[in-house]
Every structure is written in structure tokens, then in C-alpha cells.
A and B are shown apart, each in its own frame.
Chain A
Amino acid sequence: MIVKTANLNLYYGSFHALKDIDLSIKENLITGIIGPSGCGKSTLLRVFNRMNDLIRGVRVTGAVLIDREDIHSPICDLILLRKTVGMVFQRPNAFPLSIFDNIAYGPRVWGITDKKTLRDIVERSLAAVDLFDVLKGRLKESALSLSAEKQQRLCIARLLAVEPEILLMDEPCSALDPIATGKIEELMLELKRKYTIIIVTHNMQQAARIADEVGFMLLGELIEFDSAKKIFTNPSDKRTFDYISGRFG
């Protein structure tokens, strides 16, 4: 599914957090958004599933099109939008429920009550994140007993269970050690065959390893958006070059 923004501006009260963002994200690619802390990259990500609606005093202008539909138009079904555009958060935040109930949460919200169907969904979702073989006999255990990496995988499985088409990932590896990070990255490369992935990351190496296209943001502006290769080897903007070569940020 294609994601497009045109003239996107976002204000927190009087603070201008996103300035004239124009970008176009292609299907079945991993798009990385990089930039220093506070540059607005997480805010941008949270525009795509309208998570910013939960914050008071947020105002958005301009257009955000997902699958050619304006997500801020009054006829847009917010709940359907959030089902289509799933999100993985920074911290692995499983609910204090069993592994099974965590993954079944979304489908249950969507009205699936049949036990067999639910079990199929849970098994399929766990298999998609390579957790099924590990957790097969332990679905009734608390999800909070899992390691951080497994919890993050579980959170991704929980998301896949509602059959989204776009995955937003907000620094999904920042709470993980390098080995776990590597495993989640492998998973993302697998998932990109079926899903469109937008990942916000602090970690430039990570963006270089997995992203196909990269956007660099600074102080609320999208400075440069291009193929990862171009951004990391031959950026057109001096600020991008300074950032990726570690001069600031």
C-alpha cells in the first residue's frame, strides 16, 4: 500500500513539529526515517495511524494519503485505519495477559470468538515471527515472563494477527541487545515480502542494513529522501552528510 504526504504540517499547541513534509513511500519496501532526537521522526510515524489524536492540542494540516484515501477526511474509518496500519512500539509492551490472549486481543476486538479460528490465528501469527516452535506448549503462560526480544516478537505477532498491510515501527530495537536486534532485523527483512514497513531508528547502521529507502529529518523538516544507498554513500544535502558522518546528532 502506498503512503503519500503532501504539505504535511503538524503543531503541538504552538510548537511547529512537522514542517511541509512531502514524501512517498513505496509498497513492500522498508523505509527508514533517521534523524537526531526530537527531529519529529516519531511524530511523523504516529501521523500514519493517527496515534497523535490521543494527544491534546495536536493540529494537522496538509494531506496524508494511504491507498489514495485521505486519512484525515471525515469519512475515514479510524478503527479500520488502525487495523490496516499497525504499529510496533519502542518498548516490548506485552499486555499482562497470557501469550495466547495477547495475540488473540486484536482478533477478539474484531469480533472473532470461535476458539478454533482464534487458535489458528495465534499459531499462524506466532509462526510468522518464528516463535511458534519455541512457545508451542506455553501459550497459557504470562507474556511478561518472556525475554525482551521474544516479547518484541510477540508484539509483532500480535500486530500481524489483525492482518495489517503497513507496519510502523518506532525504534523497535532500542530496548534490545545487539544479538536480539540482529534477529528482529532478519524478521523485518522476511516481513517486507508481505508488508510495507516504515521504521524510525536512531541507529544509522540499522537503517543502512535493512532499509531500501531512507528519509533524513532535522528540526521537523524532511531534509532528504532517497534510496538508502544514495543517502549513505553520496547524500545531496550537506546536513545529511554531516549527520551520517557523525558530525552531530
Chain B
Amino acid sequence: MTFRIGPRTSQIIAHIILLLMTIVTVIVLFFIIGYVFKNGFAQLSLEFLTDRTREMGKEGGILPSIIGTLFITVLAIIIATPLGVGSAVYLVEYTRGGLLRKIISFGADCLAGVPSIIFGLFGFIFFVIQLKLGWSILSGSLTLAVMIIPTIIRTSEEAIKAVPQSYREISYSLGGGKLDTILKVVLPTSLPGILTGVILGIGRAIGETAAVIFTAGSSLGMPTSVFSSTRTLAVHFYILAREGISMPKAYGTATVLIIIILFVNLVAYRLMHRFMAKYY
């Protein structure tokens, strides 16, 4: 007689295994964040957040990097969102699922998976040198924009495709043209999905090092315009740790970066929920 596991037992075993997997994932996640916070929280002070950086980061605060990071990220999103959403609208509403759309979607998928250092190299050669923009916030934002456009295109495309065809039909049946339908029905309905893509983009851009170290530089001065070179938080953290300048300050910087990312996500999700709760 062979030993058999009954269906009830196998259910329980599966349940336990899945639970364990979840626990492991969550523990790893919390461990990383907890570890950074534990080492970095002590560094947080008004001075650290509002002072200029001194002695290559050994002393002083990180205000220039906070400003530089926000500046670069916001500019990148402002550049990437209209381009990405516009392309997605074109692909779904105007190409009728033809070969062109397949090629562009495939290309966007590939681009979304390209390592960010490649974008950094491209940005360095094209924006910094070819277009003579130098190491600047503008070069960094353009590079980040190019990097996150594929993500925004793909998430927006999925969101727009998910808009029920019947909504378009009603709009047309009421005498709406294509543009009315897109602006008044398709985009508002797919806005939550589009926002998700934008949030993903912000997440990628804000914590990026490789793509910006080549294009925005690593200057510690206070940024004054889009042509200033700047050192983003992630780059600052990387340099502090790599050059062994100050581990405590590195952890402090990482803590600030994580808090900013958490904050951005919270705000974005609140916005999204407020929008969805309105009519759904």
C-alpha cells in the first residue's frame, strides 16, 4: 500500500507554503527598510535637511540634493507624461491594433527592460555632448524622461484598452467625434491606470543613479536653474558610501530618499482613490 496525501492535507500544505513565501518576502522588505532607518534616523535633523553640503558631504546637510532630486524628477515627469500618454492614445485609438502598434508595443517593452546605465550613456553622448547641454538638470531630466516613457506608454496603453468599447459607442451615438470621445470619455475613464504608470515612472526616476550620474553630474552646489549641475539623493548616497566619506550621512540620505518615495506614493494613491471613489 502506498502512502497518499489526501486532498484536505494537500490543501493545508499548499496554504502553509504560500504563507511562508509571503512571510519571507515581507520580512526581507521590512528588514531592508528597517535597517536603513535604524542607521539613518539618528542623522535626521533640521540642520541635515536644510543645510548646504560641506566637505564633500562629511559635514552639513543635503538640501541641494533634495532640491536637485525633486527638480529633476518633476521635470522628467512633465516631459514624459504627455509624450507617453499621447503615444498610447495614438496606438490604441488610431492604429486599430495593426502591425505598427505591435511593433511599437514590443519596442516599448524592450526599452522598459534596458538597464538604466545604457540610458545614462545615451544621455551623456546625446544630451550632454551632442546637444551641448552639459551636466545639468535638463540633461538628467531628458534622460530620465526617455527612460520612463516606455513604462508610461505601456501602462497607459493597457488602461486605455480597458475602457469598455460601449463607452466609445455611446459617445459616437450621441454625435461625439473622435476627439470628444478621447478627451471626455476615454482619458477620464482610464485616468487611474494612467496615474499608476506615472507613479511607477516617478519611482524609477527618483531613485535612479546610473542614468543621472552621467547626465546631471555630481556637483554639490545649490541648483539655481535647469542648467545647473546637481547631485541627486541617490547619487549622493552612492558617492558617500563608495568613497567612504561618511556612512552615517549615507544612511541619513537613504532614509530621506525612502521617506520622499513613500510620501509621493501615498499622495498619488490618495489622489487616485479620491478620483475613483467619486463615481465608481
Q: Which residues of A contact B (CB under 8 A)?
A: 49, 51, 54, 56, 79-80, 82-83, 86-87, 89, 91, 93, 95-98, 105-106, 108-110, 142-144, 155, 158-159, 162
Contact = CB atoms under 8 A, between A and B. Distances in A.
A49 B170 CA distance: 12
A38 to B, nearest CB: 20
A144 B184 contact: no
A95 B174 contact: no
Contact of A142 (B96, B175, B278): B278
Interface string B241-280: 0000000000000000000000000000000000000111
B175 A162 contact: yes
Contacts of B9: none
Contacts of A86: 173-174
Contact of A109 (B96, B166, B184, B278): B184
Contacts of B189: 95-96
Given A86-B174, A109-B175, 15 more contacts: A79-B175, A80-B175, A82-B172, A82-B173, A83-B175, A89-B173, A91-B166, A93-B170, A96-B189, A97-B188, A105-B171, A106-B176, A108-B184, A110-B175, A144-B279
* B contacts with A: majority SS: helix
Contacts of B278: 142
A99 B184 CA distance: 15
Contacts of A91: 166
Interface in B168-202: 168-177, 180, 184-185, 188-189
B174 A106 contact: yes
Contacts of B177: 79, 109
Interface residues of B, number: 22
> Which 6 residue pairs across A and B have the least CB separation, nearest first?
A83-B175, A106-B174, A87-B173, A142-B279, A96-B279, A109-B176
Instruction: With a 10 A CB-CB cut-off, give which of B169, B170, B173, B189 has the most chain A CB atoms.
Output: B173
B279 A109 contact: no
Contacts of B173: 49, 51, 82, 86-87, 89, 159
B279 A97 contact: yes
A105 B166 contact: no
Given A98-B279, A108-B184, A142-B280, A93 B167 contact: yes
Contacts of B185: 95
Nearest to B177: A79
A54 B279 contact: no
Contact of B170 (A80, A89, A108, A144): A89
B96 A106 contact: no
B129 to A, nearest CB: 47
Contacts of A155: 170
B169 A82 contact: no
Contacts of B180: 109
Given A142-B280, A144-B279, A54 B168 contact: yes
Nearest to A90: B166
Contacts of A108: 184
B173 to A, nearest CB: 4
Contacts of B279: 96-98, 142-144
A179 B90 CA distance: 44
Contacts of B166: 89, 91, 93
Contacts of B176: 79, 105-106, 109
B174 A162 contact: yes
Contact of B169 (A51, A105, A144): A51
A86 B96 CA distance: 25
Contacts of B164: 93
Given A83-B174, A89-B166, A109-B176, A144 B96 contact: no
